[in-house]
Amino acid sequence: MAAEKRFKYVILGGGVAAVSALSTPTDFSRVRGEGVRQTGRQAGELAIISKEQVAPYERPALSKGYLFPHNAARLPGFHTCVGSAGERLLPEWYSDKGIELILSTEIVKADLASKTLASSDGATFTYETLLISTGSSVIKLTDFGVQGAEANNILYLRDIVDADKLVAAMQAKKDGKAVVVGGGYIGLELSAALKTNNFDVTMVYPEPWCMPRLFTAGLANFYEGYYANKGINIVKGTVAVGFDADANGDVTAVKLRNGTVLEADIVIVGVGGRPLINLFKGQVAEEKGGLKTDAFFETSVPGVFAIGDVAAFPLKLYNETRRVEHVDHARKSAEQAVKAIKAKESGESLADFYGDNVGDDVLFGDNDPTAAKPKFGTYWVKDGKVVGVFLEGGSAEENQAIAKVARAQPPVADVDALKTEGLDFAAKV
């Protein structure tokens, strides 16, 4: 029997949310000082348990720099938290801070009542406080029984193992035809990466425009025009319903619902993810497909917090629960949870935070995809106030200005004037 390990804090999952809990002003490691020797505390208070084989890294790099045809990003170059302009946390950083980094370990059972986690290799871990940051698994077309979806070179991208498979396929099918299924972040970024690698790229998605959860029609028009100008084909309003393969089992074609058949040497599917919460079924309240939390990301079980993709948290401004899959939310939810944990331990109170892109959208600026330096954005106006802002092509100062607008939520008397003012409105807030 493997020995039981006890920790005060356990962070389950090794993604951006997990490590963001260690790199904020109130994080566990900094609260304890610059090292365990100076604080007098013992190592073993805090553990990160991850089923990945490598120390946590910036996952967004996998759909960007990792796929560059030249000087591609590789570890240790993008270990967290380089994506947030923070310190790059190499494996030795964790041991220096007295943090036990437990890799290649899959937790297969969680008993929240006894505060115990069990791994596939028989190890057990107990905790006082648990942060669940297990993220999401990709939705696969085989889940829906799509004909031929098990063919070789139908790929997905979630972790570094997936990225290595994609790189190998790109090298084996050099200068070939690629079909990207999905028009979200992954679809857009992988289409760009494949084109940079000299593939003939076609994007396919069922929505009327790309990134419909974030982009308005006006914003999407810029990106679709920009991609089209780069030679990327876009097929909207239909889905993949089947695949053909050759005698070796390699995909050769994608069959669409509208009757079109697209030749393909590689297919990359990015149609969303599912929060990894099966370990906690029946033990904690759920909502919106995730683990229901309060404004401080604590679940219905005291001492158990959920951050990142798995958290379904309240937005008090709109009096509803939301679940957000975005790297910025991963970082901010981790920071909020850690603040709450430390505040509770010290008996202090803590204010919550919220923000969203809802209401009427007001497009401003130059969104011509052929422009040399396009700069444009959108204000979201609800109940006479600006409640969200998006900006493309802005300077650091302009980005700071729109961040201030999002926090202040200033009133808007004239929506037409807001469109004309554009960034000048933000400068006056």
Of 242, 271, 300, the position where a domain reaches its end is: 271
Contact predicate 223/378, CB 8 Å: no
Shortest CA distance to 365 belongs to which of 378, 347, 350? 378
| 289 is a domain residue | yes
| 71 is a domain residue | yes
| 382 is a domain residue | yes
Answer yes or no: do 338 and 405 share one domain. Answer: no
Answer yes or no: do 304 and 253 share one domain. Answer: no
Q: For 282, which DSSP code?
A: T
Answer yes or no: do 208 and 128 share one domain. Answer: no
Of 236, 271, 306, the position where a domain reaches its end is: 271
Answer yes or no: do 83 and 125 share one domain. Answer: yes
Answer yes or no: do 43 and 64 share one domain. Answer: yes
Q: Which two tokens stand for residue 346?
A: 């010290």
| 352 is a domain residue | no
Contact predicate 51/161, CB 8 Å: no
| 351 is a domain residue | no
**Tokens 């005291």, residue located:** 302
At residue 10's C-alpha, the angle toward residues 5 and 16, to 5°, is 135
**Tokens 């554009």, residue located:** 422
CB atoms within 10 A of CB 292: 18
Contact predicate 35/96, CB 8 Å: yes
- Tell me how far apart the alpha carbons of residues 110 and 277 are, in angstroms, rounded to a whole number: 10
Of 286, 321, 346, the position where a domain reaches its end is: 346
- Cα 326–chain centre separation: 4
Answer yes or no: do 15 and 129 share one domain. Answer: yes
| 353 is a domain residue | no
Shortest CA distance to 22 belongs to which of 9, 40, 3, 41? 9
Contact predicate 31/98, CB 8 Å: no
**Tokens 């993220």, residue located:** 135
Domain count, the chain: 3
Contact predicate 250/152, CB 8 Å: yes
| 114 is a domain residue | yes
Cα torsion for 21, 22, 27, 29, to the nearest 10°? Answer: 150
pLDDT in tens, the chain (429 residues): 567 899 999 999 999 999 888 865 445 654 333 332 233 335 579 999 999 999 999 999 999 999 999 999 999 999 988 766 677 889 999 988 889 999 999 999 999 999 999 999 999 999 999 999 999 999 999 999 999 999 999 999 999 999 999 999 999 999 999 999 999 989 999 999 999 999 999 999 999 999 998 899 999 999 999 999 999 999 999 999 999 999 999 999 999 999 999 999 999 999 999 999 999 999 999 999 999 999 889 999 999 999 999 999 986 555 688 898 888 888 888 988 998 888 788 776 554 433 456 788 999 999 888 888 889 989 999 999 998 898 888 887 888 888 888 888 999 989 999 999 999 999 998
| 13 is a domain residue | yes
Range of the domain at 418: 360-428
Q: What is the β-pairing status of strands 266-269 and 154-155?
A: parallel
- Tell me how far apart the alpha carbons of residues 13 and 75 are, in angstroms, rounded to a whole number: 19
- Tell me how far apart the alpha carbons of residues 88 and 385 are, in angstroms, rounded to a whole number: 39
Contact predicate 170/197, CB 8 Å: yes
CATH number of the domain at 380, please.
3.30.390.30
**Tokens 């609260």, residue located:** 31
Q: What is the 3-state secondary structure (H, E, C) of 117-137?
A: EEECCCCEEECCEEEECCCEE
CATH number of the domain at 255, please.
3.50.50.60
